[in-house]
Amino acid sequence: MTPVCFLVEPRNVLLEHMLIVDPKVHTKMSDRNIIGFIRHGAENIYMFAGGAAFLFGGITVTIIFLSTFGCYNHLRKRKDLFSSRTMSLYWALITALVIDMFSGAILVLMPSCFVGLSFLYGAKHASILTSIAMRSICLYHIMANVVLICAVRPYRDAVSRLFIQILSCKKSSITSRSNKVFDRPSRPTSAQPQIVGFEGNSRFFNYAQ
């Protein structure tokens, strides 16, 4: 039986589990002491898990902040070496990365912390909060791609042109170009090389001027 079940299951179910594990415990301890012992152990587990999560989150946020600051500082120092188009693309990519990290903190870290605190303090609607948190975590990958497409201008322009072509039912220019490339004439023109003849293993080529 997991510690989560200890916090959300009713009192009689807890006592039944304790009696199944060790029937002698109920004779030595009262019902109130049993439940207090179980909750105290579960709280210790959640406190350890919550502390580890906050420590990991703090280290991750610090690494992200230092990495982002280093990228901005590197671009600022190399501003004279790159063209304006390259600089704008780099700035857009770094901005998209920063927004992506903040969206991850909002959609993943915060719901996980809320769920941990709700189980720790025995909230009545902990299962509903868990369901909402799981759906929020699943939305992170979609939001990351949306942020990347909206922040970087070449991606944004390409997606907008694609939607315009789909809505207007126009033929793609790439398809028309590929058809022109593969539609070659069957007869050689005057500018193309013509093979006059060959004898044995040696070949003789005569190029028409």
Extents of the domains making up the chain? 3-172
Asked if residue 116 lies in contact with residue 108, where contact means CB atoms within 8 angstroms, the answer is: no
- Nearest residue to 119 (alpha-carbon basis) of 188, 42, 40, 171: 42
Query: What is d(CA 29, CA 47) in angstroms, rounded to the nearest whole number?
Result: 25
Burial of 133 (0-12, 13-18, 19+ CB in 10 A): buried
As a whole number, mean pLDDT of residues 105-132 equals: 74
Write out pLDDT tens, residues 140-178: 888 888 888 888 888 888 888 988 888 887 655 554 444
**Does the pLDDT at position 189 exceed 60?**
no
Q: Give the model's pLDDT for residue 20.
A: 46
pLDDT of the residue at 81: 80
Average pLDDT over residues 46-60: 68
Rounded CA-CA distance 28/11 in Å is 18
Q: What is the mean pLDDT of residues 34-56?
A: 62
What is the model's pLDDT at position 167?
86
Q: Are 70 and 33 in contact (CB under 8 A)?
A: no
Q: How many CB atoms lie within 10 A of CB 107?
A: 21
Mean pLDDT of all residues belonging to the chain: 67
Task: Give me the pLDDT at residue 202, please.
Answer: 46
Say whether pTM exceeds 0.75.
Answer: no
Q: Give residue 2's pLDDT.
A: 43
Q: How confident is the model at residue 181 (pLDDT cuts 50, 70, 90)?
A: very low
The pLDDT of residue 38 = 56
**DSSP assignments along 61-109, one per residue:** HHHHHHHHHHHHHHHHHTTTTS-HHHHHHHHHHHHHHHHHHHHHIIIII
pLDDT per residue as tens digits for the range 90-105:
888 888 888 888 888 7
Q: Is a pLDDT exceeding 50 seen at residue 200?
A: no
pLDDT tens-digit map of 56-93: 767 777 877 887 788 888 778 877 787 888 888 888 88
Cα distances (angstroms) measured from residue 12 to each of 35, 121, 145, 178: 10, 20, 48, 74
